[in-house]
C-alpha cells in the first residue's frame, strides 16, 4: 500500500466513524449542516479542489466536477427540502471507497502480473581486478566478466567462460526443461542457474539482452490497443456528456411539463435530486479500467506460458482464428534429419552400408549427408579418391578402387544396379514409415548394396497439437512444405491434417497464403505458424504470424505477431484458449458495466432508487469488473 492509499484509507475510516456518531445528533438544520460539513470536507476536499482546477483548465466534464455538483446539490436539497445530510457525505464516501479499492486492486494486479513477467534481474555480479562486486546491470559493458551463482538469474547474454551448470529456462519458455551449459556455450539472460557457478563473458548490453528485449515487448504489448479498447475509449468520451445532458433534461423537462400541461405541482426538488443521481453514475470508470486490465492480464498470463503476444490487438485476433496454416519442417517436425532404418542387401552389413554411404558423402554438407555421417558415428572416414556429383541423382565416388554410387533410384539405374527389391518412390504410399523420409540407395560397382531411410522426426506433441487446434474451433488446417509430395502427404495423414500443399518455394507460400486470406474474407482470421527463420514474408503477410522456437532468435521475434518461446506446437491451442478466455471476460465486463449503468440510470430516472443505490452500483460494478479481469491470468493447461 502506498502512502497515498494509506492516507485515503484513514480519511475513509474517519468519515465513516463521524457519520455513525452524527446519526445520533439531533439539532437544527443549519447546525447540522455545519456538523456534516466536517466529514464531507475530510473525505471530499481533494475532489472539490480538482473540480475547481478542472473549471480553471476548461476540462469541465470530469468526474470530480460531477461528484462535486452532485454532492453539493444534495447538501442544498438537504437544507431546503429533505433534511437528509447523510446522503451527500455517504455518496462522497462511497466514491472514495471505490477509488481506493480500484487503486489497490489495480496496483496489486499490476504487481502480480509484473511478477509473472519478472525475468529480468536487478543486479549483476561483475568480476574485475578488485574481485567480484554487485553492480547495476545497466553499467556492465560488453565483454565484461560476470559471475552467476546457483539460484540467480543470468542478467546479460553471453558466453560461458568457466564452470558448468544446469539452466532452468522456464521463465522464458513456460516449460521447466533443464539445459546444460558448459564453457564455450552461449547462454541467454532470464535463465535461472540451478546448481553451478558460471563465469560469463557478456556479448550484449543489458538493454539489448534477451530478457530485457522480451520484457520490453510484453510491456509494450498493451500499447497496441485492441478494437475493444478503442471502442471503450470512444464510448467513455461520449458517455459522460450524454449523461450530463440527460441529467439537465431530467431536472428541467418533467417539472415544466407537469406545470404547463398537467397542471400539477412541478416538484423541482424531486427532479433535481434524480438529476443529481444521474451525475453520480456518470463516471465510466469500471469500463475504462477493466478492459485494458483484462488484456494486460491475458498478455501476462500468456507470457508466463512462454507465449509472447505483441499487442492486445493480436490477442483479440487470436480468438477469431478460423484457419491455421502450418509450415511442416521445424514446426510439426523437428527439422533434424536422422537415419531411421537401414536395409542392407545380402553380403553387406548395416555398418558397411552406412560406412560406404557416409564416406562417399564425406565432402557434402547437405542435411542428408550430415545425417549419414552422424549415423556412422566416430572413426576414420575413408577418403574417396574421386567424387563426382550427378545433379538430381546423387554422388558417384571412387573408394579404395571401387566405384560407389549413393543416390536415388535413377542413379541406381545409371549404375546398372537393379532396384526391384527396394520400394520405388511411386509405390511408397503402401509403406508409410518409409515414405515419411528420403530413401538413399547405395551400389558398389553394379551391385546393389541396400538402402537407407533418412527422415525428419515428428515432434512428440505434433499430433495432440493439431487435435487441440481443431478442438479450439479452427475449421481449416493447412500444411505447407517445400518437401516432396509423398512424405508431405504421409505426415499430414498421420497428424490428421486434410489439406497439404507440397513442393513449395518460399514465394509460393506467400501466394498461397494470400489466396487463402482472400477466401477467408473479412470476418475470420488466418494464422500462419512457422519456425520464423525463413518464413518472415509469410509471417508478416498473414493476419497473425506465429513464430515458434524463437528463444534467442531476434529475427523471428521481429517478424512475428505472436512468438512461442519454445518449439512446442501445442502452445498454439493454448494461446488460442487464453485469448478466447480474455475476450470472453472483456465482453462480460463490457456488458456488465454498461448494463448496470443503464439499469441504474433508468431506475433513478423513474425515482425507484436514490443516490445511495446509484453510487453503490457504480462502485460495486467496478470492483466486480476488476476482479473478473484478473481471472484472465488463470488458464487451465490441460484441455
Partner 1 sequence: MKKTYKIDVDCANCANKMEDAAKKTEGVKDATVNFMTLKMKVEFEEGEDPAAVMEKVRENCRKVESDCEIFF
Active-site positions read: 327
Identify which of residues 59 and 180 has a Cβ nearer to partner 1 in the complex: 59
Shortest distance, position 392 Cβ to partner 1, whole Å: 51
DSSP 366-422: SHHHHHHHHHH-SSPPPPPSEEEEETTTEEEEEETTEEEEEE-HHHHHHHT---TTS
For residue 426, what are the β-bridge partners? none
- The three-state DSSP-derived secondary structure of 22-83 is HCCCCCCHHHHHHHHHHHHHHHHHHHHHHHHHHHHCCCCCCHHHHHHHHHHHHHHHHHHHHC
Residue 167: all three cell numbers together: 539452466
Please answer whether residues 538 and 530 qualify as being in contact, where contact means their C-beta atoms are separated by less than 8 angstroms: yes
Instruction: Tell me which H or E stretch contains 269.
Output: helix 268-280
Shortest distance, position 313 Cβ to partner 1, whole Å: 13
**Cβ contacts of 332 within 8 Å, gap of 6 or more:** 326, 458, 459, 462, 465, 466, 479, 491, 495, 569
Shortest distance, position 53 Cβ to partner 1, whole Å: 5
**Cβ contacts of 606 within 8 Å, gap of 6 or more:** none
Please answer whether residues 222 and 312 qualify as being in contact, where contact means their C-beta atoms are separated by less than 8 angstroms: yes
Identify which of residues 57 and 365 has a Cβ nearer to partner 1 in the complex: 57
Q: How many residues does the chain have?
A: 639
Identify which of residues 207 and 607 has a Cβ nearer to partner 1 in the complex: 207
How many of the other CB atoms lie within 10 Å of CB of 164?
A: 14
Shortest distance, position 240 Cβ to partner 1, whole Å: 9
Identify which of residues 288 and 362 has a Cβ nearer to partner 1 in the complex: 288
Identify which of residues 54 and 330 has a Cβ nearer to partner 1 in the complex: 54
Residue 579 is classified by DSSP as H
DSSP 195-253: S--EEEEE-S-GGGSHHHHHHHHHHHHTTS--HHHHHHHHHHHHHHHHHHHHHHHHHHH
- Pick left, alpha or beta for residue 190 (phi over 0 → left; psi -120 to 50 → alpha; otherwise beta): left
**Cβ contacts of 616 within 8 Å, gap of 6 or more:** 94
Q: Point out which residues bind partner 1 (CB under 8 A).
A: 49-50, 53, 57, 59, 62-63, 99, 102-103, 106, 110, 113, 219-220, 222-223, 225, 233, 236, 283-285, 288-289, 292-293, 296
Identify which of residues 233 and 540 has a Cβ nearer to partner 1 in the complex: 233
Shortest distance, position 295 Cβ to partner 1, whole Å: 8
With vertex at residue 12, the alpha carbon angle to CA 9 and CA 18, rounded to the nearest 5 degrees, is 140
Of 574, 577, 637, 564, give the one whose Cα is nearest residue 330. 564
Residue 232: all three cell numbers together: 471503450
Shortest distance, position 245 Cβ to partner 1, whole Å: 19
Tally of CA atoms within 13 A in the half-sphere of 547 that contains its CB: 27
Give alpha helix (H) positions in 419-533.
432-435, 462-471, 485-495, 506-520
Shortest distance, position 610 Cβ to partner 1, whole Å: 25
Give alpha helix (H) positions in 281-311.
285-304
Report the SS3 class of residue 469. helix
Of 637, 592, 579, 639, give the one whose Cα is nearest residue 618. 592
Shortest distance, position 232 Cβ to partner 1, whole Å: 9
For residue 273, what are the β-bridge partners? none
Report the SS3 class of residue 363. coil
How far apart, in whole angstroms, are the C-alpha atoms of residue 613 and residue 597?
11
Identify which of residues 291 and 486 has a Cβ nearer to partner 1 in the complex: 291
Shortest distance, position 97 Cβ to partner 1, whole Å: 14
How far apart, in whole angstroms, are the C-alpha atoms of residue 210 and residue 208?
7
Shortest distance, position 532 Cβ to partner 1, whole Å: 25
Amino acid at each position: 500500500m502506498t502512502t497515498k492509499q494509506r492516507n485515503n484509507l484513514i480519511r475513509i475510516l474517519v468519515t465513516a466513524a463521524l457519520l455513525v456518531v452524527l446519526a445520533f445528533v439531533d439539532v437544527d438544520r443549519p447546525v447540522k449542516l455545519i456538523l456534516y460539513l466536517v466529514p464531507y470536507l475530510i473525505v471530499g476536499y481533494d475532489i472539490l479542489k480538482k473540480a475547481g482546477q478542472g473549471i480553471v483548465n476548461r476540462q469541465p466534464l470530469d468526474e470530480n466536477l460531477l461528484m462535486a455538483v452532485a454532492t453539493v446539490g444534495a447538501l442544498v436539497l438537504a437544507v431546503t427540502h429533505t433534511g437528509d445530510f447523510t446522503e451527500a457525505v455517504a455518496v462522497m464516501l462511497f466514491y472514495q471507497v471505490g477509488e481506493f479499492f480500484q487503486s489497490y486492486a489495480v496496483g496489486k494486479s499490476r504487481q502480480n502480473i509484473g511478477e509473472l513477467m519478472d525475468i529480468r534481474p536487478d543486479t549483476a555480479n561483475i568480476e574485475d581486478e578488485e574481485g567480484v562486486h554487485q553492480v547495476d546491470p545497466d553499467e556492465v559493458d560488453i565483454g565484461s566478466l560476470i559471475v552467476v551463482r546457483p539460484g540467480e538469474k543470468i542478467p546479460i547474454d553471453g558466453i560461458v567462460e568457466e564452470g558448468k551448470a544446469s539452466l532452468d529456462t522456464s521463465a522464458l519458455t513456460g516449460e521447466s526443461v533443464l539445459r546444460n551449459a558448459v564453457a564455450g556455450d552461449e547462454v541467454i539472460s532470464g535463465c535461472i542457474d540451478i546448481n553451478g557457478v558460471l563465469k560469463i563473458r557478456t556479448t550484449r548490453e543489458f538493454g539489448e539482452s534477451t530478457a530485457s528485449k522480451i520484457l520490453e515487448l510484453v510491456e509494450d504489448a498493451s500499447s497496441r490497443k485492441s478494437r475493444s479498447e478503442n471502442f471503450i475509449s470512444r464510448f467513455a468520451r461520449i458517455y459522460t456528456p450524454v449523461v450530463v445532458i440527460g441529467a439537465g433534461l431530467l431536472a428541467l423537462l418533467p417539472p415544466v411539463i407537469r406545470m404547463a400541461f398537467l397542471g400539477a405541482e412541478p416538484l423541482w426538488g424531486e427532479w433535481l435530486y434524480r438529476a443529481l443521481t444521474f451525475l453520480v453514475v456518470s463516471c465510466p470508470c469500471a469500463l475504462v479500467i477493466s478492459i485494458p486490465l483484462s488484456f494486460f492480464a491475458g498478455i501476462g498470463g500468456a507470457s508466463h506460458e512462454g507465449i509472447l503476444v505483441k499487442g492486445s490487438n493480436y490477442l483479440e485476433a487470436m480468438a477469431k482464428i478460423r484457419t491455421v496454416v502450418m509450415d511442416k519442417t521445424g514446426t510439426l517436425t523437428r527439422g533434424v534429419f536422422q537415419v531411421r532404418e537401414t536395409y542392407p542387401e545380402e553380403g553387406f552389413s548395416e555398418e558397411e552400408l552406412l560406412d560406404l554411404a557416409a564416406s562417399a558423402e564425406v565432402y557434402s554438407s547437405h542435411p542428408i549427408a550430415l545425417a549419414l555421417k552422424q549415423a556412422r558415428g566416430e572413426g576414420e572416414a575413408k577418403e574417396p579418391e574421386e567424387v563426382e556429383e550427378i545433379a538430381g541423382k546423387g554422388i558417384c565416388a571412387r573408394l579404395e578402387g571401387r566405384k560407389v554410387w549413393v543416390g536415388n533410384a535413377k542413379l541406381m539405374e545409371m549404375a546398372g544396379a537393379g532396384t526391384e527389391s527396394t520400394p520405388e518412390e511411386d509405390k511408397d504410399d503402401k509403406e508409410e514409415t518409409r515414405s515419411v523420409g528420403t530413401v538413399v540407395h547405395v551400389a558398389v560397382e553394379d551391385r546393389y548394396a541396400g538402402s537407407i531411410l533418412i527422415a525428419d522426426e515428428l515432434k512428440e506433441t505434433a499430433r495432440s497439437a493439431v487435435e487441440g487446434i481443431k478442438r479450439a474451433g479452427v475449421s481449416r488446417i493447412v500444411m505447407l512444405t517445400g518437401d516432396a509430395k509423398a512424405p508431405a502427404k504421409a505426415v499430414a495423414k498421420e497428424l490428421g491434417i486434410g489439406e497439404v500443399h507440397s513442393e513449395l518455394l518460399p514465394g509460393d507460400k506467400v501466394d498461397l497464403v494470400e489466396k487463402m486470406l482472400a477466401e477467408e474474407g473479412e470476418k475470420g482470421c488466418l494464422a500462419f505458424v512457422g519456425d520464423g527463420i525463413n518464413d518472415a514474408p509469410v509471417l508478416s503477410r498473414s493476419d497473425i504470424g506465429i513464430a515458434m522456437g524463437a528463444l534467442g532468435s531476434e529475427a523471428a521475434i521481429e517478424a512475428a505477431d505472436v512468438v512461442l518461446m519454445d518449439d512446442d506446437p501445442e502452445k498454439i491451442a493454448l494461446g488460442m484458449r487464453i485469448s478466447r478466455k480474455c475476450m470472453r471476460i472483456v465482453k462480460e465486463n463490457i456488458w456488465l458495466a454498461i448494463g448496470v449503468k443503464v439499469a441504474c440510470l433508468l431506475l433513478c430516472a423513474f425515482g425507484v432508487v436514490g443516490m445511495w443505490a446509484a453510487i453503490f452500483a457504480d462502485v460495486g460494478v467496478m470492483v466486480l469488473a476488476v476482479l473478473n479481469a484478473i481471472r484472465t491470468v488463470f488458464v487451465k493447461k490441460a484441455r
